[in-house]
Chain A
């Protein structure tokens, strides 16, 4: 009885998997005939595009505009999946993610998924320039004009002391998934500061807003494009200028962050079979101002991502017409 039941289960399993050789994870590269759990459609003729949504609003803005065009101009169905970056990349391999619309560097992941696993490739720049840097609220730059030069930071270290910084000034860092050289920078530039890790983007946002409202000192890691610049006035602290290769050795970095060209990443399978949807994703390119406008509507004007995208699309016909596949 028990054995019969087992046999039944296995037989059913084989039927579900649709192949006699066990259940393979559907890699984009080999594209075996393995079963897909329903609910995670693929970019096959059905016309579903799976877009990963990384957790920041600028990303959501880009994704919303692409999704709007895919749905309304090309007739695709779009599935959005909230994922952190690292996890989203893993989705290329299982076929659960087709597109990452805004990628910040991640050379280690590119090496793994482009070269070793061969399941993903870059679909070109988004047109957005990502700039990471150290910021203080504008009121501090007004009150202490020389604070925006890193050489003077030690002079003001006392201002930045908090209960967490152990007698030194505090440099607030964000989510652990972010690209950062801050520990090395503080050490190599001989700054009397301690890197305190907030642990999330929310920790940075709340601190920055309070720093403006309450006129409290704050030195923190931040980046553009970001909607926060529309709400809080910030001034960038100048570190020794970036030159190509100055950040090659992560332990010896003593220069500012370089400008990152943000790009789109797609699964190999989507590039091969995505048709018009892939063309659109590849052609997509806009400016930081475009993205900030949409992100600001989502973040501060209470619009849904869909409505904000629609508003931008209606106002910028010429731009997106050029992205549509011929």
Chain B
């Protein structure tokens, strides 16, 4: 060994090779693991002090709800107002009747983008009736409208403030992080505690999830308005308020529309979980299907959510873009006349057609779907269990053994070293703080179990995402076929496909990974595809004329140049995977997700569930900090 080192070129002595430090750190960590394995492992304790403290706080709220002024004059009013607002939306939507509402959607579609969208609006909402879930859909729509309205009323002003002041932005960012990564389950019980069960608390739970994205996008939009324009406006003597209204908001308009669009999408993704605290609508069909283990029963509701998401998404996006393309579309009185005509046609139809969606028009997709799923469950079982066993034996079990048997301080050292190398000192310290927080909260063992499944899920997601993304970037046809499938994978409530997954893979960590991958792959594919498409055509041309083959072009030119987008995809993949941790807890993944689910369903475990929710946030921030630095560095070679 020493002989081999001696024969190396001398310059290596003056400047150690780049791989030396990481390898040396790796060797030290490995040696540490081999000698210290099994010590300082921090096993899980259901009665850890932080869990009990949270329980006590819960009991205090429970017994002071009717005496404390904060509740008497604050929270309880919020509850009443939100309930009223929801009831108002519901009354109006039902008063329109189903033909009326379909007509309104048609009119909105026409206003937003002409005939194609008018048809989409009419067809999409009529499909909700054909699926046999009209009334539940209307209730879901009312809930989404209520939460989005409140989320925007609070979120847009906050977003504008954050866009104009870096200080506000810095103060808000961590709060928004927590709101987005905290598993919804963990705050469902507090919701019930504060707002009771029913539409009000469902609205609050939904808007907690939907608001951060609205704030973030608005802030970004306002921030990006060209400083020259603001300068010009100020030098002309405009006040801050005038500048905001006449310059910043109009210029940021399109992006703010995107904020509204995203808030709606987020709200729709909460429909099922909110049903656990008696939110009215499509979610309760899905929950009932789950307890009957019947996919056919929940599928119509699942498809309805996807359809509603697609219609609302296309409508709001088109409305956002219209400002630019206004010249192309018919404008002025004629535009409104046509829209009015469509709406009136709906209203007239409402008086002629029966008030309930006619039974004869409903397409019963349930039974055949159930049959098909049953067939697949029984005939694919051997193959799927084999895949599951191989993955578990080769990947999951060894990794989890290593993580849970390593002393906590060694894991901490490894995380610190990794984050420092990948992202730099500041993120490394944040990552370390999060990890130590997990240990202090009494969540160490379960965090390591969750970390195992998340790491494997992220790896699979990235491999699959790269594969599909590259394929889509190279073939327009493939991309066009894939796009609606990705839309569906992202908006379809995961519980719908969990049942067949449970039958095929059993109640195991593998099932949880399967669900996470389906959920997390779409954004990764999109980012990779956009990244590769974004490589300048001149560069591609140059490479081709220099005689590179398709493979060389991909490996030597397109992938390296799309590096930033791909790393962002990795980061997003992690966040999305973490969002599925709790769902994993329902299908046998154990870990933090199971703690959160337990906390929701057992009185005495509330504290543990809530703390585990916080733990998921810490884990998320840790992984984010480890990976976030990567996309700021242009490439590893540049590093000194």
Contact = CB atoms under 8 A, between A and B. Distances in A.
Given A81-B278, A196-B507, 15 more contacts: A17-B76, A22-B73, A25-B71, A27-B66, A35-B80, A86-B602, A87-B197, A90-B192, A91-B278, A163-B392, A163-B510, A177-B602, A199-B507, A201-B290, A207-B502
Nearest to B364: A302
B80 A17 contact: yes
Contact of A16 (B84, B196, B293, B600): B84
A55 B588 contact: no
B163 interface: no
Contacts of A201: 290-291, 293
A74 interface: no
Interface stretch (B239-247, B354-362, B465-473, B590-598): B590-598
A163 B90 contact: no
Nearest to B366: A302
A96 B278 contact: yes
A202 B291 contact: yes
Contacts of A166: 397
A205 B87 CA distance: 37
B270 interface: no
A163 B396 contact: yes
B65 interface: yes
Nearest to A52: B278
Given A56-B291, A57-B292, A108-B603, A84 B503 contact: no
A209 B81 CA distance: 47
B122 to A, nearest CB: 29
A56 B293 CA distance: 10
Contact of B388 (A108, A163, A214): A163
Nearest to B290: A202
Given A163-B392, A176-B594, A177-B601, A199 B589 contact: yes
A94 interface: yes
Contacts of A200: 290, 586-587
Interface size class of chain A, counting residues whose CB lies under 8 Å from the partner chain: 35 or more
A203 B601 CA distance: 16
28 contacts: A13-B81, A16-B80, A22-B72, A25-B65, A34-B76, A37-B84, A38-B83, A39-B87, A40-B83, A40-B198, A55-B288, A55-B290, A85-B601, A86-B600, A90-B193, A91-B278, A94-B197, A96-B197, A163-B389, A196-B507, A199-B590, A199-B593, A200-B587, A201-B290, A203-B588, A205-B293, A209-B377, A213-B381
Interface in B218-277: 275-277
A109 B603 contact: yes
A83 interface: yes
Nearest to B287: A82
A299 to B, nearest CB: 6
Contacts of B65: 25
Interface in A290-305: 298-299, 302
A219 interface: no
The interface size bin for chain B is 35 or more
A314 interface: no
Contact of A39 (B83, B189, B589): B83
Nearest to B370: A302
A201 B594 CA distance: 14
Interface string A12-31: 01001100011111010010
Contacts of B598: 176-177
Contacts of B9: none
Contacts of A13: 77, 80-81
A27 B67 CA distance: 13
Query: 10 closest pairs, A vs B, by CB?
Result: A37-B83, A22-B72, A177-B601, A23-B76, A163-B392, A198-B507, A176-B598, A203-B507, A94-B196, A205-B293
Given A37-B80, A39-B87, A94-B197, A210 B586 contact: no
Given A38-B87, A39-B198, A197-B590, A202 B499 contact: yes
Contact of B66 (A25, A84, A197): A25
Interface in B117-160: none
B381 A210 contact: yes
Interface in B62-112: 65-66, 69, 71-73, 76-77, 79-84, 86-87, 90
A83 B197 contact: yes
A24 B589 contact: no
Contacts of B72: 21-24
A203 B502 contact: yes
Contacts of A162: 506, 508
A57 B196 CA distance: 25
Contacts of B87: 37-39
Interface in B380-394: 381-382, 388-389, 392-393
B581 to A, nearest CB: 12
Interface string B185-217: 000010011001111100000000000000000
Contacts of A56: 291
A149 interface: no
A37 B200 contact: yes
Given A55-B291, A56-B291, A163-B393, A207 B80 contact: no
Contacts of A24: 66, 72, 76
B434 to A, nearest CB: 25
B558 interface: no
A203 B586 contact: yes
B397 A163 contact: yes
B58 to A, nearest CB: 11
A85 B287 CA distance: 14
Contacts of B506: 162, 206-207, 210
A175 interface: yes
B150 to A, nearest CB: 14
Nearest to B502: A206
B80 to A, nearest CB: 6
A17 B388 contact: no
Contact of B378 (A164, A205, A214): A214
Contacts of B90: 39
B378 A213 contact: yes
B292 A198 contact: no
Q: Which of B389, B585, B594, B603 has the most CB of A within 10 A?
A: B603
B76 A25 contact: yes
Nearest to A94: B196
A72 B367 CA distance: 29
Contacts of A280: none
Given A56-B291, A109-B603, A164 B198 contact: no
Interface in B461-504: 498-499, 502-503
Interface in A139-186: 162-164, 166, 172, 175-177
Contacts of A83: 197, 276-278
A305 B508 CA distance: 32
A36 to B, nearest CB: 8
Contacts of A209: 293, 377, 503
Nearest to B279: A82
Nearest to B597: A176
Contact of B601 (A84, A172, A196): A84
A21 B287 CA distance: 39
Interface in B561-580: none
Interface string A63-89: 000000000000000000111111100
